[in-house]
Amino acid sequence: MSAYPYRLQILWITLLVLTWLGYCSPWSGERNLLLGAVMVLVTAASLIGITRRARTRRRTTARILTEVNGTLRTLPSGLKRHTPLVITVGDPNAMSGAWGDDIVRITDAAIWVRCDMPVTLMHVADALKRWRNGQGPDAVALLIAADQGNADTLAAAAWKPWRSAIGAASRAVGYTLPACLAVYAQTPWGKGECPWFGTSGSVPLDAHALPDFLTSRLQRYALAASPAEPESRGLRFALLDALVRWSSKALWPLWADGRSPLHVMAFGVTVVPGVPVSGAPFGCFVAQLTGLTGASTKGRASPRYPLPDALLAGMPRQPIRRAWPRALAHAVMALTVFFGAGTVASADQNRTLMKRLADNLARYQAIPSTQDAVRLDALALIKHDRDELEHYANAGVPMRLDFGLYRGSLWVPIVDRVIADYRPPAAPPSMIELNSMSMFNTGSAVLNPGSNRALVGVLEMIKSHPDKRVLIAGHTDSVGSPDANLKLSLARAAAVRDWLIDASGLSATRFAIQGYGDTRPRASNDIEAGRALNRRVEITLIPDCRDDGSDSTKGHPACS
């Protein structure tokens, strides 16, 4: 895999994000749905942008790749990997003189590819890296015709688009593209080919040290002149030395300033037979430095500029950079982030679950046994928690609680024990029977002082059942007339009711009284023991059967 799989990587990250939102997120469902929709939209926009960029790259580089493949068709297949590949850019004069109408050229030193527009450099560099199966261009050569341009051509604004384009191309191929600066000048003195004078290396060059370093080389060139050409070679030496010094002052600042200066690792100058253009900044510099001036002839055909093969000798070759190790590393990093975010979310939700279990148990245990209805509500929450824990035990722990942090199984025996220990309160007695002989004197409906002890127990039973009404019924034996016994039993029931109202502060509407006289004996009235059982007051708790909610009058009969 030579090209980085951006689309596949984006889909992988989107899948991880949606999985986290769907199975691990502690947020609400509406929020997760909104974030998921935003993620899908961002992914769709990214895929559209990458697809458009790929189409632009294919459209921009189709002709170049066709030329490259056509040129290398008859050469060995390994040539494109073992031969340096250099993209050349530069000012129009230098590019026209070096290339003519060609796009691709193969020399003994490198495969040279031409690029005329800054906006296409990024696509060309990326396409060439794909073409060489992950091995990107080895350098970018900047060709400059020093004596053919004007001041505007050498202005910083003219080269700013190329500097930005080289930075974008470096980002596209994944490394900083080394730059090779090749400077040409035309001279009317001497004929024949002039060698390149310069240096190259694996680290950026120091512009301040270049003039002195190259001057020593140029002096040896001038001293080695044959007897037939001492004057022409001496003039070339002066011109080349001036070209080096002018380049260090006029050209290097164009590339060394700014936030992202170029890494110029090769620099060289040469001269070719020809006539420089009058008024060029370099010509003025030479005239001031040496006093030499060349003939001024405009419109003359530009000579053929040689490509800077010699300057590539010391520059490092770019290794093959396969995309799949980097893509795999990024995919593993995304998976690591997914598990990290899932672990954090799981820890938070497990903490919430444990707190809920502890709070429900503490709330249940804090409720007194006398409030059985409230205890049952709290117990229902605990049973719901138990059902949830059992579901997890049977069906599996969900991802949002997993990641090795789930501790709900430790709570199962605790919750089961609390549920098993619940005991409903004892059912209240349906009726309390009070002996009339211990509470009233014979034939009297006034409570004796000692009857309070028995009535206190009745009062506690009534308060523990606030949803019930109280029926108080009086009974007598058969001694005396039936009318007198009926009135006596009703009066004794009223006396008990009045005491309970005064002692408890309860509303009179909760009480009902009934006098039965001797009509409901429990035993025979023929013997004293039977008559003693029949003399009694019965207190019974009954449901409230009133429909209209209005207060009952004193002495209202109880519901049957």
What CATH code is carried by the domain that includes residue 476?
A: 3.30.1330.60
Q: Judge whether 6 lies within some domain.
A: no
Domain end marker among 299, 321, 343: 321
Residue 78's pLDDT is 74
188 and 127 within one domain: yes
Distance CA 54, CA 287 (A): 51
Distance CA 493, CA 554 (A): 12
Residue 340's pLDDT is 96
523 and 498 within one domain: yes
Among 323, 263, 327, which residue's Cα sits nearest to residue 132? 323
372 and 406 within one domain: yes
471 and 336 within one domain: no
213 and 134 within one domain: yes
Q: Judge whether 10 lies within some domain.
A: no
312 and 359 within one domain: no
Q: Judge whether 4 lies within some domain.
A: no
Residue 556's pLDDT is 41
Q: Judge whether 40 lies within some domain.
A: no
Residue 548's pLDDT is 45
235 and 152 within one domain: yes
Q: Judge whether 1 lies within some domain.
A: no
Residue with tokens 């035993």: 523
Residue 546's pLDDT is 55
Q: Judge whether 488 lies within some domain.
A: yes
Among 138, 137, 164, which residue's Cα sits nearest to residue 61? 137
407 and 288 within one domain: no
Distance CA 159, CA 180 (A): 15
> Which range of residues forms the domain containing residue 338?
330-420
192 and 84 within one domain: yes
CA 404 to the chain's CA centroid: 22
241 and 193 within one domain: yes
* Paired tokens of 261: 């200066």
Q: What is the dihedral of CA 315, 320, 321, 323, to 10 degrees?
A: 150
300 and 151 within one domain: yes
Domain end marker among 420, 453, 488: 420
Phi, psi of 289 (to 5 degrees): -80, -40
Query: Which residues of the chain register pLDDT less than 70?
Result: 1-2, 149-156, 190-191, 225-231, 257-260, 292-302, 427-430, 437, 545-560
Residue 371's pLDDT is 86
Q: Judge whether 43 lies within some domain.
A: no
CA distances from 515 to 326, 482, 512, 523 (A): 99, 11, 11, 18
Distance CA 446, CA 495 (A): 7
- Biggest alpha carbon–alpha carbon distance for the chain: 172
Q: Judge whether 123 lies within some domain.
A: yes
Among 239, 232, 193, 191, which residue's Cα sits nearest to residue 215? 239
Distance CA 519, CA 534 (A): 10
- The upper half-sphere exposure of residue 500, i.e. CA atoms within 13 Å in the direction of its Cβ, equals 29
Domain end marker among 389, 420, 451: 420
Collect all residues with Cβ–Cβ distance below 8 Å to 518 and sequence separation of at least 6: 475, 476, 477, 478, 482, 485, 525, 534
85 and 214 within one domain: yes
Q: What average pLDDT does the chain have? A: 86
Total count of domains within the chain: 3
